[in-house]
């Protein structure tokens, strides 16, 4: 049992992030006071042809956009409108934060480079053409430059020393899913997803529509409180602000169906966009993953090496030069007689200890790591078989590395952090170890 653990912020604990890996006092301060305080540039893993390549064979125009204060979805919509294309013709590999300066690739099906518009706070560069659109797997990682205002630089070294010990030499932190995965101001998506996994369709609807938070406007709090107390769908529809379109769509369906049977509540959930339906389940998987990592921390099991019963994955040989990336499609159970051999691979960055994102095809670990996985699943009241669900709610599951490491550079004046992370990992999960603040202040 690790008695030196520092408890996380209550909001983080709601989503399974129970502890910090470092016990030293945080530096405080804030990020994202200005867009330029948070800069992120994609590490691209996507091949293109020259712009004069045959547009029939390579119909996707690929551009690189540097955006200031743009939500990725909003920019894609603005770009498609300006080019006279449907929104479905614009694709990208990774969604970026709005309060930032971001550089990333977009592809436009049958896009004309001469039709590229001038868009405020956006610099657009033509990269070339491609035979297919951009997809999530085309993003290898992200490079970050993040400024912290009003932080104490004298506390940085103590935290870094602890994180290097935790990471086995490199700066390392538990590879938690960050607060953005669940909602910084209203973290309920995982609770919706867990109710879905239990096929508690009514409970899932109430988790989404109810649960008022102090961080919300008063009219929204009142509407959520009303629906939670009364389940009066028509009355709630009159009270919910029009800006809450997803909630209102659910309420409309509940009113139409009379909402008494489980299938009525499932139908209401299915009014949400398909990406939000998937997010509910993904957030549930992510919260379980976080809880598994927190329990491993609590028990003092290592993150930078394997123990008997762990499941490891191996490095992706196709990762861009200079970036180490786990390949969760290649896994192996660690038996007692293979621990030393596997850990030689782990030390060289060729293998990674993993934990499950549970689904129907998830193979749980053995020994103490497997015991942790089963205990957490029991505590939240789900099993791997529970993800055999209809439509967008189903998931086969996968595994994810439990340790996030990086070569970190810190400047004192102004206080700024430079680092690179593989895709799917969160910059805020590293920064929380340094600032130790309310996760809402991390953006």
Residues taking part in catalysis: 97
Look at residues 309, 311, 305 and name the one whose alpha carbon lies nearest to residue 330.
Answer: 311
Q: Which residues contact 366 (CB under 8 A, 6 or more apart)?
A: 308, 309, 333
CA distance 431 to 391: 36
Q: Could you give the C-alpha distances from 49 to 112, 127, 141, in angstroms and in order? A: 15, 8, 22
CA distance 187 to 287: 11
CA distance 84 to 116: 10
Backbone angles phi, psi at 158, to 5 degrees: -65, -40
CA distance 406 to 408: 6
Long-range contacts of 388-393 (CB under 8 A, 24+ apart): 388/360, 389/196, 389/197, 389/199, 389/281, 390/266, 391/270, 391/277, 392/274, 392/277, 392/278, 392/281, 393/196, 393/277, 393/280, 393/281
Displacement of CA 415 from its chain's centroid (Å): 26
Please say whether the dihedral angle defined by the alpha carbons of residues 266, 270, 272 and 275, taken in this order, is positive or negative: positive
HEC profile of 272-322: CCHHHHHHHHHHHHHHHHHHHHHHHHHHCCCCCCCCCCCEEEEECCCCCCC
């Amino acid at each position: 049992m690790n008695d030196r653990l520092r408890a996380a912020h209550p909001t983080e604990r709601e989503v399974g992030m129970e502890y910090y890996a470092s016990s030293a006092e945080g530096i405080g301060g804030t990020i994202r006071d200005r867009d330029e305080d948070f800069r992120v540039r994609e590490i691209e893993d996507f091949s293109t042809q020259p712009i004069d390549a045959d547009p029939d064979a390579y119909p996707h125009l690929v551009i690189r956009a540097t955006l200031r204060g743009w939500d990725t979805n909003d920019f894609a919509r603005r770009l498609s409108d300006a080019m006279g294309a449907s929104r479905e013709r614009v694709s990208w590999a990774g969604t970026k934060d709005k309060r930032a300066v971001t550089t990333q690739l977009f592809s436009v099906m049958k896009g004309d480079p001469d039709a590229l518009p001038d868009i405020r706070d956006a610099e657009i560069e033509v990269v070339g053409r491609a035979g297919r659109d951009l997809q999530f797997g085309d993003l290898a990682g992200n490079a970050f430059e993040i400024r912290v205002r009003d932080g104490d630089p004298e506390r940085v070294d103590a935290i870094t020393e602890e994180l290097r010990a935790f990471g086995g030499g490199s700066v390392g932190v538990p590879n938690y899913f960050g607060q953005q995965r669940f909602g910084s101001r209203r973290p309920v998506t995982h609770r919706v997803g867990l109710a879905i996994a239990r096929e508690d369709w009514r409970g899932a609807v109430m988790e989404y529509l109810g649960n008022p938070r102090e961080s919300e406007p008063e009219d929204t709090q009142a509407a959520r409180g009303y629906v939670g107390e009364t389940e009066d769908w028509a009355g709630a529809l009159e009270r919910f602000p029009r800006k809450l379109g997803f909630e209102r769509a659910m309420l409309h369906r509940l009113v139409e169906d009379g909402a008494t049977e489980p299938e009525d509540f499932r139908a209401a959930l299915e009014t949400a966009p398909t990406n939000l339906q998937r997010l509910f389940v993904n957030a549930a998987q992510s919260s379980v993953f976080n809880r598994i990592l927190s329990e491993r921390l609590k028990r003092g099991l290592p993150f930078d090496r394997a123990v008997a019963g762990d499941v490891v994955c191996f490095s992706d040989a196709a990762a861009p030069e200079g970036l180490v990336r786990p390949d969760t499609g290649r896994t192996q159970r660690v038996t007692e007689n293979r621990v030393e051999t596997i850990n030689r691979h782990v030390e060289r960055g060729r293998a990674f200890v993993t934990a499950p994102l549970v689904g129907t095809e998830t193979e749980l670990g053995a020994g103490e790591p497997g015991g942790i996985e089963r205990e957490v699943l029991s505590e939240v009241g789900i099993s791997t078989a529970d993800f055999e669900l209809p439509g967008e709610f189903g998931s086969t599951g996968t595994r994810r590395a439990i340790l996030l490491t990086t070569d970190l550079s810190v400047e004192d004046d102004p206080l700024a952090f430079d680092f690179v992370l593989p895709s799917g990992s969160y910059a805020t999960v590293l920064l929380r170890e340094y600032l130790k603040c309310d996760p809402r202040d991390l953006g």
